Amino acid sequence: MTKIALVWLREDLRIKDNAALSYATQNHEIVTALYVYNKIEFDGKREAQKWWLFKSLKNLQKDLKVYNINLEVLLGDDVEVLANIKNNQDISIYANKVYEPSQKYKETKISSHFNVNKINFKLFKGNILIEYQEVVKDDGTPFKVFTPFWKNAEQRYLNKIPSKPTNIKKLKNSKSFFKNTIQIEKILPKNNWYKKFEKYWMPSETEALKISKEFIKNKISQYGDTRDYPNIEGTSKISPYLKHGQISVETIWRECSEIKNKGKGYRKYINELGWREFSHSLINNFPEMLKGNLRKEFDRFPWVKNNKHLDAWKKGMTGYPIVDAGMRELYETGWMHNRLRMVVASFLIKHLRIHWREGEKHFRNCLVDFNEANNVAQWQWVAGSGADAAPYFRIFNPFLQGEKFDKNGEYTLKWVPELKNFPKEYLQKPWELEKKYQEQINIVIGRDYPSPIVNHESARNAALQAFQSLKK
Ligand SMILES: Cc1cc2nc3c(=O)[nH]c(=O)nc-3n(C[C@H](O)[C@H](O)[C@H](O)COP(=O)(O)OP(=O)(O)OC[C@H]3O[C@@H](n4cnc5c(N)ncnc54)[C@H](O)[C@@H]3O)c2cc1C
């Protein structure tokens, strides 16, 4: 065994249940943790996550110090940085897998470099319950439908010897390994947009463990009923922590398994973790879906290019209050409730007939929980072009969605406060209130809040017609 170990961190910014870190501290005298910040992967693409990453690395650096582990941050390309390591440096390298084709590519390249140069390199299971290659149909092909996928995956996971949580050992000494480290502050975005996120999030492992514990203790039993209502904090809001690996999905699973009376809430929650597994399986088995439609007939879909509409959607100025509320929540907090993600995605794709890729790109840039697998799989799910997708002809009616899932308008008014004096029955369709009453309450549609950018009925008919054209 070499004296030094280097742990290459990516989406595993935690101490608990971190297999690579644990193995390194059990087997080496000195352990250094490395994060390589690749600007190209973030600039103009994942601006919200720059803030999350900055905070997370800062907190992890502090936490690792207690164990005498230096976290060193470098600017550049992971493969180039790692390829500079020489075999006379008495070092072994460890990492946890990341299940994205571009990350897998890096793992393969690095692995072959270390192989050739006789440097010890070991990859551990990443933040997933079960390796996607293990979940296949009887004929060996991957699943494209969620229910059989999850039935198979969950059973395989349950059949395994339950994994034990891993911990790390405190080391006697620490050592700096790299000379060209950067200040973590360098990661922060140039504009101040992220400042608002400070009000809503604390990106650390401690916070992740706390949130998950409290959710399982106090909320999971109701999750089956509350998860669809954006005015209630009924979901776990663990997604950004899971994305950055501040909590392992196995930790969540283990804690859920300890629930004595496992009811509907438990089942629903576990199924959502199953959707996460499914998305990861999809993008690895069908990587072409990262670039285009999984169902090829959608390549003929007559998408509309309309920057004015796209802009109104991004800014939360479509004139449909529930859609605007969702988009404003996203911009303000870096997160959006799942029900709203479905509503706003459906609106962009079906009412505006703008390509789902535009929405996927915007979410990628604005979400603190952006996850390549979930994002692309869910956008294609809404579009109808993905695996086990919602049929294209099922078109969400935005005002009915608003009336059903935000009955008292609390969520809508939180983000669209200009409508606060509107009578409740007109909140989701404010344009229907007679102009003289709008004037009485001093909010005129078209002046103080936008008129709907498209008419629901005609947009719906146009979408259905466009869909029909695929069948010709
Ligand atoms: C258009 C669209 C885009 C999305 N983009 C992302 C994304 O970039 N990153 C992301 O993590 N999720 C994405 N989702 C899925 C889902 O909206 C979020 O995972 C969820 O809202 C996160 O909040 P939560 O942690 O409170 O979820 P909870 O309801 O508490 O669920 C727990 C966990 O299960 C997983 N999960 C829940 N719902 C889904 C789902 N439908 N598909 C896959 N996994 C799920 C997530 O990891 C989530 O953190 C998207 C959904 C849609 C419709």
For the stretch 367-406, pLDDT in tens is: 999 999 999 999 999 999 999 888 888 899 999 999 999 9
Among protein residues, the one with the nearest Cα to ligand 1's atom 48 is 239
Output the pLDDT for position 162: 80
Domain range summary for the chain, segments of one domain joined by + = 4-126, 128-161+202-285, 296-470
Annotated catalytic residues are 272, 275, 303, 338, 356, 379
Strand, helix or coil for residue 242: helix
CB-based burial label for 329 (10 Å; 0-12, 13-18, 19+): buried
Output the pLDDT for position 190: 85
Q: Alpha helix (H) ranges present in 321-455?
A: 321-333, 338-346, 356-366, 372-383, 398-405, 410-415, 435-440
Ligand 1 centroid, distance to 435 Cα (angstroms):
40
Domains 4-126 and 128-161+202-285 alike in fold: no
This prediction has a pTM of 0.97
Beta strands in 278-323 (DSSP E): none
| Angular region, 130: left φ>0, alpha ψ -120 to 50, beta rest | beta
Distance CA 469, CA 472 (A): 6
Distance CA 175, CA 39 (A): 26
For the record, the structure tokens of 248 come out as 């392992």
Asked whether the beta carbons of 201 and 59 are under 8 A apart, the reply is no
Ligand 1 centroid, distance to 341 Cα (angstroms):
9
Fold observed for domain 128-161+202-285: 1.25.40
Quick one: average pLDDT of 248-252?
Answer: 97
Q: What is the pLDDT of residues 211-246, one digit of tens each?
A: 999 999 999 999 999 999 999 999 999 999 999 999
Backbone angles phi, psi at 434, to 5 degrees: -55, 140
Ligand 1 centroid, distance to 443 Cα (angstroms):
35
Pocket residue to mutate for ligand 1, from 239, 251, 278, 381, most atoms within 8 A of Cβ? 239
Give kind and range of the element (H or E) at residue 53. helix 47-65
Ligand 1 centroid, distance to 369 Cα (angstroms):
8
Strands 91-96 and 4-9: parallel
Distance CA 160, CA 116 (A): 34
For domain 4-126, give the CATH number. Answer: 3.40.50.620
Output the pLDDT for position 301: 95
Backbone angles phi, psi at 290, to 5 degrees: -70, -20
Q: What is the pLDDT of residues 278-292, one digit of tens each?
A: 999 999 999 999 999
Does domain 296-470 fall under CATH 1.10.579.10? My reply is: yes
Q: Give the residues surrounding ligand 1 with Cβ less than 6 Å away.
A: 227, 235-239, 242-243, 272-273, 275-276, 279, 338, 341-342, 345, 363, 367, 369-371, 374-375, 378-379, 382
Q: What is the pLDDT of residues 435-452, one digit of tens each?
A: 999 999 999 999 999 999
Which of 212 and 88 is assigned the larger pLDDT?
212
Name the pLDDT band for 293 (thresholds 50, 70, 90).
Answer: very high
| Residue where the block lists tokens 């976290």 | 71
